[in-house]
Amino acid sequence: MKMLRTMAATAAILLLGTAAFGAVQLNFSTGSMGGGFYAIGGGLADYVTKNVPDVEITAVTSGGVNENINRLDSGQAELGLLNTIDTPLAFEGKPPYKKEFNKMRGMGILYLQYGQPFTLASTGIKTYLDLKGKVVCA
């Protein structure tokens, strides 16, 4: 709840100067319907819309982080949920991204993201130590 209040206060401060022009309408690019990003983005959008005067945020479904990055860059969305893996790569134009997506700015961290590695059973890899000498990403 503290995170929601902080984000609402931040939005209010950033958008205060635009109140004279009527309600500010923002698109929030999230994730697929029923997914975690959509639930988080929808909740944040509802909370800010209800608690910050003259600000209306609409949660918009998307294909996920890569689509959100493209929407932010193209101006199709003013807000988007990203992750800590793709965002720095996109920002710096590193593979798999072919250009720099440097119009994005971070507002905060919603939750810590942990890696969940998987492999095929046929590899014989069962622990991190089994990775020694193996090609992981080529």
Q: Is residue 56 part of a domain?
A: yes
Q: Is residue 138 part of a domain?
A: no
36 close to 75: Cβ distance less than 8 angstroms = no
Tracing tokens 């000498």 back to the chain, one arrives at 133
CA distance to 14, 20, 78, 105, per residue, from 17 (Å): 7, 7, 17, 20
The tally of domains found in the chain comes to 1
The domain in which residue 53 lies consists of 2-131
79 close to 110: Cβ distance less than 8 angstroms = no
Q: Is residue 116 part of a domain?
A: yes
Model confidence, pTM = 0.70
- Higher confidence at residue 45 or residue 7? 45
Q: Is residue 100 part of a domain?
A: yes
Spatial distance between the Cα atoms of 70 and 98, rounded to a whole number of angstroms:
12
The CATH number for 69's domain is: 3.40.190.10
pLDDT classification of 7: cutoffs 50, 70, 90: low
- Higher confidence at residue 56 or residue 1? 56
Segment 63-109, tens digit of pLDDT: 999 999 999 999 999 999 999 889 999 999 999 999 999 999 988 88
Handedness of CA 82, 88, 90, 95 (dihedral sign): negative
